[in-house]
């Protein structure tokens, strides 16, 4: 029977793969995404968003600085995916993933109920990754972790 940490590492890799899967269209068509694509997407999300505080955030902070936020989301999605897939800086990348999932749920969840469910599922998976220290097995974090000093027996 596999140890729970092995299952956590597999979950970490799967969640990282999901983030990369979502980042791929943004990466493959960077010029469109970083240009008008991001602005159009945010305008759609803000349009009838029932979360008034979040609509105000999208219209007041994100849209005026669309170039910055488009790069941040592109780089953030890609880095989160790579770090989780490789098990690099796992607790930090999973925490950033939680932050991103909350924001994506608030931004787009109202447009399709499935977005709420998927973001919620990803949130739970990312919390499990953090709680089980999923980077400490089968990841770069495990390779970089210093071995515990051996005790002398007298």
Residue 150 domain-assigned?
no
Look at residue 7 and tell me whether its pLDDT is greater than 80.
yes
Residue 149 domain-assigned?
no
pLDDT, residue 67, reads: 93
Chain-centre distance for alpha carbon 37? 20
Of the candidates 141, 44, 26, 130, which has an alpha carbon nearest to the alpha carbon of residue 83?
Answer: 141
**Average pLDDT of the chain, as a whole number:** 91
pLDDT, residue 146, reads: 60
Residue 154 domain-assigned?
no
Residue 148 domain-assigned?
no
d(CA 130, CA 91): 5
Residue 111 domain-assigned?
yes
| Predicted confidence (pLDDT) per residue in 34-56, tens digit | 888 999 999 999 998 999 999 99
Total domains in the chain come to: 1
Residue 70 domain-assigned?
yes
| Predicted confidence (pLDDT) per residue in 137-149, tens digit | 888 998 888 666 6
The range of the structural domain enclosing residue 131 comes to 4-142
pTM for the whole structure: 0.88
| Predicted confidence (pLDDT) per residue in 91-132, tens digit | 999 999 999 999 999 998 888 888 889 999 999 999 999 999
Residue 137 domain-assigned?
yes
Residue 68 domain-assigned?
yes
């Amino acid at each position: 029977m596999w140890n729970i940490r092995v299952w956590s590492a597999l979950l970490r890799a799967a969640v990282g793969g999901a983030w990369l899967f979502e980042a791929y269209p943004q990466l493959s068509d960077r010029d469109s995404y970083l240009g008008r694509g991001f602005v159009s997407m945010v305008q759609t999300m803000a349009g009838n968003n029932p979360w008034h505080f979040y609509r105000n955030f999208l219209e007041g902070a994100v849209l005026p600085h669309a170039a910055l936020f488009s790069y941040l989301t592109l780089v953030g999605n890609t880095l989160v995916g790579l770090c989780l897939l490789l098990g690099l800086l796992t607790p930090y990348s999973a925490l950033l993933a939680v932050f991103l999932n909350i924001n994506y749920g608030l931004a787009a969840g109202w447009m399709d109920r499935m977005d709420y469910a998927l973001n919620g599922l990803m949130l739970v998976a990312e919390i499990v990754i953090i709680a089980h220290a999923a980077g400490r097995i089968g990841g770069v974090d495990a390779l970089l972790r210093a071995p515990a000093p051996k005790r002398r027996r007298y």
